[in-house]
Amino acid sequence: MEHVNLLNRISKPSAHTPIGRLLPANLDPIKFGIVDYSQLLDDLGLEMAWKVILDNISNLTIAELKGSFFDFDNLGEIYEIGLAYTNKITKKELGKYYTPDDVSSLMFELLLENTNLINLVDVGCGTGNLIISVIKTAMKSGQTDIIRRIREGRVWLYDVDPVALSICVVKIEILLQEKVGSLIHVVLGDFLDKKIELPSDCTVITNPPYSIIKEIKKNWIRSDVLLQSKDLYAGFIDRILQQERCKEVFQRESTCVDQPHL
């Protein structure tokens, strides 16, 4: 299982990159606009552009970002615009559609009602709409369990997209105003890969990708569900439910709570 420092993983720009004018001091998140964004993407590419952006916003507060291009609540959307701008196919193939706030809040209510939280996992966390909304609702209602679990190193994020994962971690840090990134387990990789496992005693929240599977990969478990549905959403839920280590699953598609091993 890969536990990675994502920001270090993103490659440095080549000698030709005009990074000089994009150094952190020159990128003012408050004055930044859509033209600057497309220029940054053209100059640096998606990964490096987001490394620069995250370096610049990670020490700011939600209030300081308010109303700017990098408004905390818009970060996921801004990333998806960048993804579409740089590569339209990837966005579609990864089934990336972020989770609406009402769905996330409802998931949190169910989570509170039904679970004795030990390890919390967000599978296909993307830029973190789901887990952020869950943490926000927890903070509003004075439920400190989830925040304590983050500090104890009991939160796990899974996604195949390294940039989305790093955005998710920085958003959690901005929200909590605490450098908890190194305590969060970040698992970068294809969730259907046999080698990728969930931690023990985990409660899973997930908004799996909506996408048709074009090819069943050799490193996937060829379950009946996967073979028959040829659908990533079904494949994800099946893979979660098949793991003995999972206690409960709260999924995007319905308000039902699956408790596979209780």
Query: Which spans of this chain sit near ligand SAM (rule: CB under 6 A)?
Result: 76, 94-99, 124-130, 158-161, 164, 190-192, 207, 209, 232
CB closer to ligand SAM, 36 vs 101: 101
CB closer to ligand SAM, 53 vs 94: 94
Residues 156 and 146: their CA atoms lie apart, in Å, by: 12
Neighbours of 73 (CB within 10 A): 14
Residues 49 and 262: their CA atoms lie apart, in Å, by: 45
CB of 228 to ligand SAM, least distance (A): 18
The answer to whether residues 186 and 6 touch, using CB atoms and an 8 Å cutoff, is yes
Non-local CB neighbours of 145 within 8 Å, separated by 6+ positions = 117, 138
CB closer to ligand SAM, 3 vs 33: 3
CB closer to ligand SAM, 56 vs 99: 99
Strands 246-251 and 257-258, by their bridges, are: antiparallel
CB of 39 to ligand SAM, least distance (A): 25
Q: Which tokens sit at 123? A: 């599978």
CB of 147 to ligand SAM, least distance (A): 19
Phi, psi (deg, nearest 5) at residue 257: -115, 120
CB closer to ligand SAM, 161 vs 231: 161
Element of type H or E holding 257: strand 257-258
CB of 168 to ligand SAM, least distance (A): 8
CB closer to ligand SAM, 28 vs 253: 253
CB of 214 to ligand SAM, least distance (A): 12
CB of 232 to ligand SAM, least distance (A): 6
Phi, psi (deg, nearest 5) at residue 259: -125, 85
